[in-house]
Amino acid sequence: MPNSGLQFLDYAVFFLYFIVVSGYGYWIYQRRKHAAQTAGEYFLAEGALSYWAIGASLIASNISAEHFIGMSGSGFAIGLAISTYEWMSAATLLVVAIFFIPVYLKNRIYTMPQFLHERYSPLVASLMAVFWLLLYVFVNLTSILYLGALALELAVGLNFYVAIGGLALFALAITLGGMRVIGYTDVIQVAVLILGGLATVYLALDMVAEHFGKDGIWAGLSLLTEKAPGHFHMILPKEHPYYKDLPGLTVLVGAMWINNLNYWGCNQYIIQRALGADLATARKGILFAAFLKLLIPVLVVLPGISAYVLYSSGMFQTEMTDAAGVIKPDHAYPTLLHLLPVGLKGAAFAALIAAVVASLAGKANSIATIFSLDIYKRHFHKSASEAQVVKVGRISVLVSLLLALLVAPQLRSLEQVYQFIQEYASFITPGAFSIFLLGLFWKRTTAIAALCGALLTIPLSAAFKFWAPEIPFLDRLGWVFLLIFILMIVVSLFQKKESDMVDVDPKLFRVEPAFVVGGVLICGVLAALYSIFW
């Protein structure tokens, strides 16, 4: 096997990336250093992000080691079907741009708990804020750090704990500069992760072709479909060993929509990128992100399937198993990075770091936003100045990263971390999405109904998980959502209608012709993909 460590040229490529990102971020920060920094500017970069920065930041915050390592691992184990999270997200983003963003911007919503506070009550807002903070710190931030460090350990031999510390420090430096720095450095991060990801895809497909006596990436792609036909079905049958992870039509017309709409439309970590823009810019940015989403499975799933085909033909037997001989799907992407030629390995290394750091920075910024505006200012220091709120935000960034550093090593026992993230995030999803969906589009919904939804989402999800473990988690999510949704309607009907605190004007849902063209194009591509790989 070729040398698995980085060579001088690899280090040069990586440090070029590091200097460009750091220097660009520092330049952006310096431009506003002497101006009075408001909470709106620090957390949202109000009016400062262009549509391409918003779109790139949405993707940079979403794509991380959980994709390069976790989703690639699921590509190894399951196949192209795992791509449904990405491709259905493209369609979901169109819905969010048309129906969700206009309401948030019209009502000057800065945080998701703020929406709940204005639409329902302080209790509902505070309860959900606590749920989100726990999820962001102990599931999302922790898993991103773990997978990033695992990748660096496996791919370049860096000590796991040194890798975790280095990633956290890099992310901390970017996050402390605020959303303006995060948003514009994310443009570079996305460019790097796409270029580095394409290099890995090229190597993987070329390696498959060469292994079977052929030449070229197109031959490699053809061989993947020939050698692993079961890995190229988007809709899994019930007898499939991973049906519980991706249960048939649920991913196309069922609870996958609930999962995605909640993630893209009701998630502070994601939607925050668009909350500081005007409606036209926000919609263009989200449309741009939807187009980028179509590309992600090419970057992360194809390498996983390539590793599976090569493993099945006798390669990577040691690299893909642990000391007990158990197959570790999450080793697929790092194993391929071992084989990249000098220079390209540095580019792929930079791409991986870019994905991890951008996602860490975005997540930490959202944690700071919710804690500072919805916990600290609302409950502990209502008269806090803008400077004090920003200071508390920076402190909360540091604390959240320290907590994640302590918890991340505990994830080593997991087989597919991407599935772990999806499953445990789904404990909050049914209640949260019910509350938002009814709060946005049914004026009759009451605060008591929302409180019932917030209090029941985790107990009901846990009950389904432990008492009916045979139910796929996406189906479980759907059933819990349906129960909470119906309950909230019933509770609301038995109460007096409350005053409308949020303005929802149907005229806001009108879109520009250019957006319609882009949306139709995305839907056409998705229809073709699902038809070909059904």
Q: Which residue has the higher pLDDT, 20 or 403?
A: 403
pLDDT of residue 179: 62
Q: Which range is most confident: 70-79, 112-121, 173-182, 283-292?
A: 283-292
| 479 CB-near residues (< 8 Å, 6+ apart) | 464, 471
209 burial (CB, 10 Å; 0-12 / 13-18 / 19+) is buried
Tokens of 103: 């309401």
- Average pLDDT on 366-371 reads 86
Residue-wise pLDDT tens digits, 479-516: 999 999 999 999 999 887 765 667 777 888 888 999 99
Q: Which residue has the higher pLDDT, 315 or 526?
A: 526
Of 283, 274, 275, residue with least CA distance to 513: 283
Rounded to whole angstroms, the Cα distance separating 169 from 173 reads: 6
Q: Which residue has the higher pLDDT, 318 or 531?
A: 531
Rounded to whole angstroms, the Cα distance separating 182 from 364 reads: 11
User: What is the number of other CB atoms lying within 10 angstroms of the CB of residue 119?
Assistant: 26
Classify 193 in phi/psi space as left (phi over 0), alpha (psi -120 to 50) or beta. Answer: alpha
Tokens of 492: 């609301």
pLDDT band at 435; cut points 50, 70, 90: very high
Tokens of 339: 């084989």
pTM of the prediction?
0.84
Q: Where are the domains of the chain?
A: 43-411+506-532, 426-503
Rounded to whole angstroms, the Cα distance separating 107 from 120 reads: 14
pLDDT of residue 250: 86
Q: Is the pLDDT of residue 236 over 70?
A: yes
Tokens of 461: 């999800």
pLDDT of residue 525: 95
What's the Cα-to-Cα distance from 69 to each of 144, 303, 310, 407, rounded to whole Å? 10, 10, 17, 19
- The HSE-up count of residue 410 (CA atoms within 13 Å, CB side) is 9
Contact 346, 6 (CB under 8 A): yes
- Angle between helix axes 386-407 and 344-369 (nearest 10 degrees) is 130
Contact 73, 331 (CB under 8 A): yes
Tokens of 148: 């990033």
Name the percent of the chain lying above pLDDT 90: 25
Contact 185, 24 (CB under 8 A): yes
Q: Is the pLDDT of residue 47 over 60?
A: no
User: Three-class SS string for 113-178?
Assistant: HHHHHHHCCHHHHHHHHHHHHHHHHHHHHHHHHHHHHHHHHHHHCCCHHHHHHHHHHHHHHHHCCC
Long-range contacts of 510-513 (CB under 8 A, 24+ apart): 511/97, 511/98, 511/283, 512/280, 512/283
Contact 350, 14 (CB under 8 A): yes
pLDDT band at 36; cut points 50, 70, 90: very low
Rounded to whole angstroms, the Cα distance separating 28 from 48 reads: 11
Q: Which range is most confident: 82-86, 251-255, 324-328?
A: 82-86
pLDDT of residue 417: 58
| 314 CB-near residues (< 8 Å, 6+ apart) | none
Residue-wise pLDDT tens digits, 100-116: 999 888 888 888 888 89
pLDDT of residue 40: 54
Q: Is the pLDDT of residue 205 over 50?
A: yes
Rounded to whole angstroms, the Cα distance separating 351 from 345 reads: 10
- Average pLDDT on 461-469 reads 86
pLDDT band at 251; cut points 50, 70, 90: confident
Q: Is the pLDDT of residue 328 over 80?
A: no
Residue-wise pLDDT tens digits, 124-181: 999 988 988 988 888 888 888 887 887 778 766 778 888 888 888 888 877 766 666 6
pLDDT of residue 3: 44
Please, which residues bridge with residue 321 across strands? 327
Is 485 strand, coil or helix? helix
DSSP 508: G
Rounded to whole angstroms, the Cα distance separating 73 from 329 reads: 4
User: What is the number of other CB atoms lying within 10 angstroms of the CB of residue 36?
Assistant: 8
Rounded to whole angstroms, the Cα distance separating 43 from 364 reads: 11
Contact 83, 315 (CB under 8 A): no
User: What is the number of other CB atoms lying within 10 angstroms of the CB of residue 290?
Assistant: 27
- Average pLDDT on 334-358 reads 76
Please, which residues bridge with residue 327 across strands? 321
Of 397, 431, 446, residue with least CA distance to 141: 397
Q: Is the pLDDT of residue 264 over 80?
A: yes
Residue-wise pLDDT tens digits, 441-459: 888 899 999 999 999 998 9
Q: Which range is most confident: 22-26, 30-34, 166-170, 172-176?
A: 166-170
- Average pLDDT on 219-227 reads 91
For all residues of the chain together, what is the average pLDDT?
A: 83
Is 327 strand, coil or helix? strand
Q: Is the pLDDT of residue 218 over 70?
A: yes
Q: Which CATH architecture has domain 43-411+506-532?
A: Up-down Bundle (1.20)
DSSP 377: I
Q: Is the pLDDT of residue 185 over 80?
A: no
pLDDT of residue 278: 86
